[in-house]
Amino acid sequence: MDIAGSLIGLRDEALARIAQAPDLESLDAVRVAYLGKKGALTAVLRGLKDLPAEERPAVGRVSNEVRDAVEAALAERRAVLERDLLARRIRAEAVDVTLPGRRRPLGRQHIIHQIVDEIVDVFVGLGYRIAEGPEVELDYYNFTALNHPPEHPARAATDTFYVKDQSGGATGAGLESEVLLRTHTSPVQVRVMEKQQPPIYVLAPGKVFRRDVADPSHLPQFTQIEGLVVDEGITFGDLKGTLEHFVREIFGPDRRVRLRPHFFPFTEPSAEVDVSCAMCGGDGCRSCGGEGWLEVLGCGMVDPNVFRYVGIDSERYTGFAFGMGAERIAALKHGIPDLRLLIEGDMRFLRQF
C-alpha cells in the first residue's frame, strides 16, 4: 500500500475543501473530518507505528508535511472568514450619524388639568387650602344638608345618576337610594364644615356628574371648582372682590365682572357671575350671542340653614361660596366652541394647548 500517495491524496482533498468552506462552522467540520480524533489524516498517522521500521522516517516526514500543510491552510482560511464576518457585522451594526434623530413625542398636561392648576394657583395665592370629597356621594351631602327640599327637581332621577336605580329599589328607601354620583362639588362644603370650625378658606376641585347628553355646552361628566370662605365679618363685598381678582388673573386685566341675582338653595343671596366678552368688550357680538357678557360661575352667601346642618354659629360667622365649571372656563379663555372637544382626545386639538 502506498501510504505516502494516499496522504498526498488526502491533503489535496482537504486543501480543496478548506478553500471552499463558506463559513467558520463548515471550516471546523473540515478540520474535524481530517484532523479530528476520528479524522482521515489522524487514522493514517496512527497507522504509522505498524509500518516496518525502515519505511517510517520517509512516511513520517511526508505525513508531517501533509499535516502542517492542512493546518496552515485551515489557519489561513479561518483568518479570511473571520475578517469577512467582522466586516459584515460592522456593516450591519453601522450607525449613520448623519441621519436626523428620532423625535420623541412629548406628553403634556391636558388642557382641563392646566386650567384647574391655574385656578388653584390663584386661590392658593390668596391663602386657600385644597379640600376633597368623594365622587360617589350620599344624598345627604349632595342635597339635604345643602338645603334642597325633598321635592327639589335636581333630585329627580332624570337629572342625577343614582348608584342604584330608584325605581328598582323595591327593597325600600334604604341607603342604596341615597347613594349617587355628586352633581356638584358643593357637598365638599358640607364635609369641610362638619370637620372644621371657621376660619375656613378652601378650594375643592373635582369631577361631577349629571344626566345630560353631551352637546356643545353640556357634558355628562365635567370638572367643578368649589370655593368656600367662612369667617367673622365676611360680606358680599368680599365675595365680589375675590371673584373680580380671580377673573382678572385668569382672563386678563381688561375683563369686567357683572353679578346677576340668581337662586341656589344653599346660598342667600345668590348670584351668577358674568365676564365681559373678550371679542366685543361688552358691546355684544356673535360670540356672546349679542349679550356682551358670558356666564362663568354661580355664587352666594352661605345660607344660615346650611350652617345649622353642620353646627356652625350663623350669628357669629358668615361666609360665601362659589362654584364654576373648569371646562367652561377653559372654553371661554381659549375660544373653544364645543365642550366635547375637551374630552374627545383628538391630538390635533389637544396639541394646541
Distance in Å, CB of 289 to ligand PHE, minimum: 20
- Name the residue nearer to ligand PHE (CB basis): 292 or 298: 298
Compute the distance between CA of residue 167 and CA of residue 122 in angstroms, rounded to an integer: 44
Task: Tell which residue, 329, 340, 320, 323, has the closest CA to residue 142.
Answer: 323
Residue burial 308-341, b: 16+ Cβ < 10 Å; e: rest:
ebbebeeeebbbbbbbbbbbbbbbbbeebeebbb
- Name the residue nearer to ligand PHE (CB basis): 190 or 342: 190
| H helices present in 172-290, as ranges | 187-195, 236-251
Coil, strand or helix: which one is 347?
Answer: helix
Coil, strand or helix: which one is 150?
Answer: coil
- Name the residue nearer to ligand PHE (CB basis): 267 or 318: 267
Compute the distance between CA of residue 180 and CA of residue 136 in angstroms, rounded to an integer: 6
C-alpha cell at 273: 357671575
C-alpha cell at 270: 345668590
- Name the residue nearer to ligand PHE (CB basis): 9 or 241: 241
345 φ/ψ sector (left φ>0, alpha ψ -120 to 50, else beta):
left
Distance in Å, CB of 215 to ligand PHE, minimum: 17
Distance in Å, CB of 324 to ligand PHE, minimum: 8
Distance in Å, CB of 323 to ligand PHE, minimum: 3
Residue 199 backbone phi and psi in degrees, to 5: -75, 135
- Name the residue nearer to ligand PHE (CB basis): 137 or 226: 226
Distance in Å, CB of 247 to ligand PHE, minimum: 16
Residue 51 is classified by DSSP as S
Residue nearest to ligand PHE (CB): 323
- Name the residue nearer to ligand PHE (CB basis): 77 or 184: 184
- Name the residue nearer to ligand PHE (CB basis): 63 or 185: 185
Distance in Å, CB of 136 to ligand PHE, minimum: 17
- Name the residue nearer to ligand PHE (CB basis): 159 or 346: 159
Distance in Å, CB of 214 to ligand PHE, minimum: 17
Distance in Å, CB of 158 to ligand PHE, minimum: 17
Residues that bind ligand PHE (CB under 6 A): 184, 186, 226, 264, 267, 298-300, 321-323
Strands 293-302 and 257-264, how do they pair? unpaired
CA distances (Å), 3 to each of 10, 54, 72, in order? 10, 14, 22
Which uninterrupted H or E stretch holds 120?
helix 111-124
